[in-house]
Structure 1
Amino acid sequence: MSPWPYPRWIAHRGAGKLAPENTLAAFRLGAQHGYKMIECDVKLSADGVPFLLHDATLERTTDGQGTAGERPWIDLSRRDAGAWHSRQYAGETLPTLQAVARWCQANGVLLNIEIKPTPGTEAHTGGLVAREAARLWHGAPVPPLLTSFQVEALRAAQQAAPELPRGLLLDSLWHGWHSQAQALGCVALVCHHALWDSTLVAQARAAGWRMLSYTVNDAATADRLWALGTDGIITDRVDLFAPA
């Protein structure tokens, strides 16, 4: 396998559940707990601005309503993305990928970008996010890792910025996943932690893929994954696991 530049521990959506997910406040808290790599979700506004949000809709984590991808960035930028979590984060905004890139590079933090398209925009989102990531991290010593559950999004990312590393996210071992990961030129599989066993580890090693797991929040599961020889863990529990 080629050298792997990413750390073993990755903070989920910034700081898991300790701060409002996918905000710079969460990134800062994850970094304060010693995490050197953060996972986040990126989608597009209606006018093509890559920004951080997990859900297709705004209701759960902002004071907005409706499908986020149908709103222009000027509208999304005014949404409160912190008050839902706790009073101390009221007024926290949705960050753009550009703002996140600036923060990560200023603070020496690596990034796992999960491409999270609004349904129906998989190829458009994958291509645009990859091109923007390549521009923002141009010349950086370690590029972001692009991942997605959506094969179409990863294929578009591969075509738009083939130099950026890619990983296929899997919540089940669906028919054809192995050949798709090969065709996409993936460097990693990012699986729900329960999928990993000695058979899957052997398949990944034979293909030259690194092995990451989501979302691991207890020590027993983490110990099992390390014993299997996997390469990285995405966790909400930045307060429980010391990344060093």
Structure 2
Amino acid sequence: MNRPLVIAHRGASAYAPENTMSAIKKAVQLGSDGIEIDVQLSKDGHVVVIHDTTVNRTSNGNGKVSSMTLEQLKTLDFGSWFSKEFKNEPICTLEEVFDYLKDWDGLINVEIKKEWFQFNSIEKRVVELIDKFDIRNKIIVSSFSTLSLLTIKRLDKDIPTGILYSSPAKEFILLAKLFKIDAIHPWYKDVTKDMKEAAVKGNIKIHTYTVDDVVEMKKLAKLGVNGIITNIPDVALKALNNL
């Protein structure tokens, strides 16, 4: 049995502050097969790596990411909330991440975060950066926004995409087939044997999130998922390499 890819969620976010270069470097160091990060657009059009629409939870600042320039975001401390060891950890840009990972041979999962009815040029900027670093062969762009994924496909049909969702709806496999989306990214508790069979028939991969329980990891591996997104990639690798 081929084990699933172990994809570090927001970097190795159990060991370093999520979506920072420290978490990304830790994920590489631990031997992760892939790294998942979240991206949004700053006020001045830079693709920055952060999950929330505001900086409040993961920095010492306040306010919306979209209302701050990159220069303003770079003045904030994105590490101290996690531990003193990471004091003054700056926000990173997608460009900085791609530059760091350009010679790494793992999968980079870029998740586009968008609020409903938010219209900006983030998809265009992400595609431009993928082009700049010529890393199309190790990228998957995912989002809860079908519109974002369709925009990516319109800009470059060869960039792999994955649709995220948190309900056990088989319609998402039909949606993926209809829109030529390459993978589904369901919540791990929603993954079933039927879903796996339907995905195989549609030539669609399953990358499931966010799995930190070893028993669940093994169960999902036996079901045949293609990737497991986890905060603890070292634990996952140890568990799945012994199957």
Fold equivalence (TM over 0.5): yes
Which residue is equivalent to 2:190? 195
Q: Is the CA contact 2:130–2:136 (under 8 Å) kept in the aligned structure 1?
A: no
Deviations 1:53-73 (A, max 9, x none): 000111100112111111111
Q: Which amino acid aligns with 2:58?
A: T
1:54 partner SS: coil
Q: Is the CA contact 1:127–1:159 (under 8 Å) kept in the aligned structure 2?
A: no
Structure 1 runs of 4+ with >4 Å offset: none
Deviations 1:154-201 (A, max 9, x none): 111111122110011111145853343223311111110011111111
Which residue is equivalent to 2:6? 9
The within-5 A match list for 1:125-136 is 125-129=122-126, 131-136=127-132
Shift in Å, 1:46: 1.2
Q: Does 1:78 align with 2:75?
A: yes
Deviations 1:99-154 (A, max 9, x none): 0001011344431001112553356323332x22332332x472311001111111
TM-score by length of 2: 0.90
Shift in Å, 1:232: 0.9
Which residue is equivalent to 1:87? 84
Question: Within 1, Cα distance between the matches of 2:219 and 2:119?
Answer: 34
2:121 partner SS: helix
2:111 partner SS: strand
The within-5 A match list for 1:14-93 is 14-93=11-90
Q: Does 1:97 align with 2:86?
A: no
The within-5 A match list for 1:174-213 is 174=169, 176-213=171-208
Question: Within 1, Cα distance between the matches of 2:50 and 2:98?
Answer: 15
Q: Is the CA contact 2:13–2:232 (under 8 Å) kept in the aligned structure 1?
A: yes
Residue ranges of structure 2 left out of the alignment (5+ in a row) = none
Q: Which amino acid aligns with 1:135?
A: D
Summarize the Cα distance change of 1:106–1:91 in structure 2 as closer, same or farther, 3 Å threshold. Answer: farther
Q: Is the CA contact 2:14–2:231 (under 8 Å) kept in the aligned structure 1?
A: yes
Shift in Å, 1:18: 1.2
Q: Is the CA contact 1:13–1:21 (under 8 Å) kept in the aligned structure 2?
A: yes
Q: Which amino acid aligns with 1:236?
A: N
Question: Within 2, Cα distance between the matches of 1:65 and 1:88?
Answer: 22
Q: Which amino acid aligns with 1:154?
A: L
The within-5 A match list for 1:135-150 is 135-138=131-134, 140=135, 142-150=137-145
Q: Does 1:154 align with 2:149?
A: yes
Which residue is equivalent to 1:3? none
Q: Is the CA contact 1:214–1:235 (under 8 Å) kept in the aligned structure 2?
A: yes
Deviations 1:14-68 (A, max 9, x none): 1022100001100111111111310000110011110100001111001121111
Which residue is equivalent to 2:215? 220
Q: Which amino acid aligns with 1:201?
A: K
Summarize the Cα distance change of 1:192–1:31 in structure 2 as closer, same or farther, 3 Å threshold. Answer: same
Residue ranges of structure 1 left out of the alignment (5+ in a row) = 1-5
Which residue is equivalent to 1:121? 118
Question: Within 1, Cα distance between the matches of 2:209 and 2:142?
Answer: 12
TM-score by length of 1: 0.90
* Deviation larger for 103-112 or 182-191: 103-112
1:38 partner SS: strand
